[in-house]
Amino acid sequence: MISSAANADQFCFALAETYYEQVYCQLQAKAQTKNLPPFNQFKKNNEQVQASLLKRPAERNGIKLPLPIKKLPVATETKLAVIETSVITKAKPAITEKSTVQVARTGPIAAIQQTTPLIENIFGCKLISKQLQCSNGVFTLSGNKANQRLTKSALTAENKMNLPGYKEGAINQYLARAYQQYIGKMCEIGLCGVTMTYGKFTYLYQDINSKGLDFAQRFETMYSFLKKDKASMGVSESSAIPQGLIADDCSPLGDSYYVCEMQGRNFIFTRQ
């Protein structure tokens, strides 16, 4: 995952938003995509076509490929989960702590648009240049890092994603914990600039779970491939605030991060 679209295609797993797209990336890493279309074209197909394309190469490489579930009706196919906004809420004062919203594949947690942008959001944050100055500290925009600036163990096999497994309790609380772990681990390997939005993260959870697969293990597989790619590829360390991003687009994630989202992209601010 990289901060610019021009570089992001180096890391296939950075762009994978579904299980079948992850399988494509596994096959690509094994140089087994000879008869498959380019990734950007593969993504445009529906699940049935994607499964058909992947079936034989997945079998040859011992990758489990559950068949797609029956397509949901158009009216409900984007209403994939109900997440409590108190877990990781968009900073919109019109949303109450106990309200719920529908999470769609391509967007963040739904939020009520404001006609006038706030200078300071409800978490007491002001966005000044590349810093979020909040009531609980100062957070700086974190982009990608070159390998020489990582810890010596960052790209080793011993460094695991270690997402928690879901056992019981509120699913929204589990997903918030898992997302916080995911963000921290991506930053650890120098790919803080291209993380999934929370909406895409929850969609991928549902997609993997619906196919009877282990969500935490899938992310472990993803992490192992990303580390290998990162070890052999350079990244751009440049980062920039997109025009129009305001503090109101940002939400706290644990004590160490603020996650800001704009046009389906994440911008991670780390505590200084």
CA 160, distance to chain mean position in Å, is: 17
Q: What percent of the chain has pLDDT over 90?
A: 66
Q: Quick one: pLDDT at residue 201?
A: 96
DSSP the chain: --SSHHHHTT-HHHH--SHHHHHHHHHHHTT--TTSPPHHHHTTS-HHHHHHHHHHHHHHTT---PPPPPPPPTTTTT---EEETTTS--S-TTS-TT-EEEPPTTS-S--PPPSS--SS-TT--EEETTEEEETTEEEEEE-B--GGGS-TTTTSTT----PPPP-SS-HHHHHHHHHHHHHHHHHHTTBGGGPPPHHHHHHHHHHHHHTT--HHHHHHHHHHHHHHHHHHS-------PPTT--GGGEEEETTTEEEEEETTEEEEEEE-
Contact between 224 and 155 under an 8 Å Cβ cutoff? The reply is no
Directed axis angle between helix 198-210 and helix 19-29, to 10°?
90
pLDDT tens per residue across span 204-229: 999 999 999 999 999 999 999 999 99
Q: How far apart are the first and last CA of the chain?
A: 23
pLDDT tens per residue across span 172-211: 999 999 999 999 999 999 999 989 999 999 999 999 999 9
Q: What percent of the chain has pLDDT over 70?
A: 78
Nearest of 272, 246, 271, 240 to residue 260 by alpha carbon: 246
Overall size of the chain counted in residues: 272
Prediction pTM value: 0.79
Q: Quick one: pLDDT at residue 119?
A: 54
Contact between 198 and 179 under an 8 Å Cβ cutoff? The reply is yes
Report which of residues 107 and 36 the model is more confident about. Answer: 36
* Euclidean distance between CA atoms 244 and 119, whole angstroms: 12
Report which of residues 86 and 246 the model is more confident about. Answer: 246
Average pLDDT, the chain: 81
pLDDT tens per residue across span 68-121: 876 544 333 332 233 333 344 443 333 223 323 333 333 333 232 233 334 578
Contact between 239 and 142 under an 8 Å Cβ cutoff? The reply is yes
The answer on pLDDT for 268 being more than 60 is yes
pLDDT tens per residue across span 116-157: 334 578 889 999 989 999 999 999 999 999 999 999 999 999
> Confidence class of residue 11 from pLDDT cuts 50, 70 and 90?
confident
Q: Quick one: pLDDT at residue 167?
A: 86
For the four alpha carbons of 9, 11, 12 and 17, in that order, the dihedral sign comes to negative
